[in-house]
Structure 1
Amino acid sequence: MQSRVAAIIVAAGRGERAGQSQEGPKQYRRIGGRAVLAHTVATFRAHDAIDEIVLVVHPDDHALLAAALGPLIEGVTVVDGGRERQESVRLGLQALAGSPPESVLIHDGVRPFADTALIDAVIAAVSAEAGAIPSLAVADTLKRSGPEGVVTETLDRSGLYAAQTPQGFPFRKIREAHEAASVSGRSGFTDDASIAEWAGIPVRLVEGAPDNVKLTTARDIALADRKLRGDRAMIDVRTGNGYDVHRLVAGNHVTLCGVRIAHDQTLDGHSDADVGLHALTDALLATCGAGDIGDHFPPSDPQWKGAASHIFVQKAVAIIRDHGGRIMNADISLICEAPKIAPHREAMCEAIAAMTGLSRDRVSVKATTNETIGFVGRKEGIAAIATASVAYGESR
């Protein structure tokens, strides 16, 4: 009878070295049109020898996970992780303890290029007494640095290897090692093989794969995306336009681009009547053919009575993300005789940057009058025109 093999995929990290992104932590960023983590999970789901998958994620990431994996999540056990990788792995092992497998593979969720041959090699090398890890011989000359970055020593690289994942172990032994490390207060282990070594479990080396890289920085993610898209890669930047107008009535303020401005009139509308954000919402939705603001927030629905319009923009941002898009810039022109926009422009730009996840230099708010012509010139209403550009991961 073939022994049972489980896989634990660790994806609870915050990925700070990859920088901030509206897509979330690096495991949810898109490469080749879908999330890094989706590529990783798909590989293990497709492997004939893997009987069970436990996915360890951050407690705050369940919505991101569902959006990233879609149907891939079916049959996968999802576990909340801890503050450190070591604790996350321990919790993943704990989730398997009720029906323990003979062997377990532990893999980084941000290594999306592990392949069937590598997984086969690790599984084959695991025994009832010993673990196995993929590794590559160190090719670069190694230096030790002293104070102020001065080289103090050249190290002998013979016998040195860079460890990869998945790392495989006899389940009972590695679980006991993790529990012992936790009870003793030992932390700071950088991988599971180091815990195995500490617990006296032999660990064999198998040949790793040069492509089995861990995506750590924003550059790593960009290179992985380029690799997966290959010949399909092309510039896919889409531009959407939006227009909105609301009439002015007696009041004491207007809300424009998320900023409340004292005024002797107010904009009339079902929500807060923020023409700038309404136009921006339509511009964003247009980049992926997702209709307009009225489709998602109909004025006939009482729940949107008096609603703050940043809700509409954030919904459009989420729709773009679900379509694999990344907002590049937003530009809004306000057309009104009053109030004066210039004193509030910076606050408006900052508000829009926060709603969209854009940096400040990618947001523009401008204003012009209508030279006293028409309904705007007569101060009967305010209009807005918005343009947004969104880059999508691949042409569709």
Structure 2
Amino acid sequence: MRTKSRVFFLTMLIVMIGASPVHAAKRPAGELRAKSAIAMDLATGSIVYEQNADEQIPPASLTKVLTMYLTFEALQEKRLSLTDTVLVTPEATLAGGSRMNIRSGERVIVRELMKGIAVASGNDACVALAQHLSGSEDFHPFVAAMNAKARELGMGDTVFKNPNGMPAEGQLTTARDMLKLSASYLRRFPQALTFHSMTTYVHNNRNHHNANRLLNSYDGVDGLKTGYVSASGYNNVVTAKRGDARVVAVVLGARSAGARAAVSRQLLDIAFQKINQGQAIATLDMHKGSGKLPAPLAKAAPRQDRDLRDAQMLADAKVAQFQQSAADTDARPAAGLLQRKTAQGAYAIQESSFQSRQRAERRAQHLEKKGLPVKVVTTRLDGKGKFYRVLVGPFANAQDARKTERMLGHGSVTLE
């Protein structure tokens, strides 16, 4: 009898231990299905909801809110105008992930690039603007300005590595920091919603749709920005106005685009209800900032007409050199991952090769969705006809090329 009791006790203990992780994984009642979230009344700065708001997460395309912020500061200081011409460099067109489809050597005015960033989430447009404001193809002054502005605004848990949010080690933010940025952005530049409220945008015959699903489905929503990288999940900063109340809400780490929209809608509902009831849990600790363009960009001079002509010649030479390198990569039409060092020290990877342009472009589009810089290059081989090579790159060094080559065999992150 004692033996049976002991067996029964041990059996129940095993069942309880095995079941405990299931209960631990459940979300507390009322918690949103996202890694973190926060919402506030913009007029008063009152926070009406927060959930893990200080957890660090890659920002993905929410980064573009700060890129737009700095662009508006440059406009305000008349260092830039909406009709200024920006020369698109080869580096800008090679930005992976979502793009507005600008072309190397194309001249695009600032206003159109801003539309491309706000609506198409153009990683290429971000690089083009960052290079233009930095005065050269090196956009590090722009990134330095991004981090300086983040510090001004009290974003103590945020670090930026690039102007578009493409995956980069150490590039992190929090829901609270994104709320600080977005609140300052809307207060200083309410005209920005003219861009962020657009639902579609066309450039180079490519129609882009704003990924913010709430623009057409939630009463009062008129901006801001969505984002996605695999390391964070689906992110969103959204703002909505009803009567005299404007809510700014941040959702980080939803499981899908549909879940992001659903959680954002739920958060807005909670926020408006709390505001109507006069409830708040805290006040956002905001820093006003200098109100000026940070020193790294204030010291840089945006490209002028003469600079654009010089840059155009350099861009043309780079494109020609890269295409020649692609043509020399391999003398066989067989697919394969190959590397080729160019005369300027860049590396390109031949991912595949086709006799059909349509198949090559299909393959390139698939790789672009994985966030990779891709080109389709035509090569004519003696006695074998024309082939279309799918190239990934260029890369500045062999280490980066090999890293991407290995990644190609296992998939990679995407960016919205």
Q: Do these two structures clear the TM 0.5 threshold for a shared fold by scoring above it?
A: no
Select the structure that is richer in helix. 2
Larger radius of gyration: 1
The one of the two structures with greater contact order (alpha-carbon pairs below 8 A, sep at least 6) is 2
TM-score, with length taken from structure 2: 0.28
